[in-house]
Amino acid sequence: MKSKEKNILDLQHSLSQTKGALFLSIGIGGGIALFFGGKQMNITSINSFVIALLFSLPFIYQSIKHFTNCNKIQENIKNSI
């Protein structure tokens, strides 16, 4: 494999990994903030948890997609060496 192609794959891998970490941190951090914010507003724990979960799930799903893509790119890099 040419070094330019490997560098491009490395950059794609890093970008996908960064996006995955970003979405995961937004999902978890936002969910925690919503959960405790709901508790401050005297919303029951179950309702607060459901609201936080519904907010977090799309972000966690996106992070899983990016981490899966990251693994595929890493396999391509390993197979091409």
Q: What pLDDT, on the 0 to 100 scale, is given for residue 6?
A: 86
Host domain of residue 29: 3-80
**pLDDT recorded at residue 42:** 86
pLDDT of residue 80: 77
Token output for 79: 């197979």
Taking every pair of Cα atoms in the chain, the longest distance, rounded to a whole number of angstroms, is 60
| Predicted TM-score of the model (pTM) | 0.84
Domain count along the chain: 1
pLDDT digits (tens, 9 = 90+) for 12-63: 999 999 999 999 999 999 999 999 998 888 888 899 999 999 999 999 999 9
Other beta carbons within 10 angstroms of residue 56's beta carbon come to 20
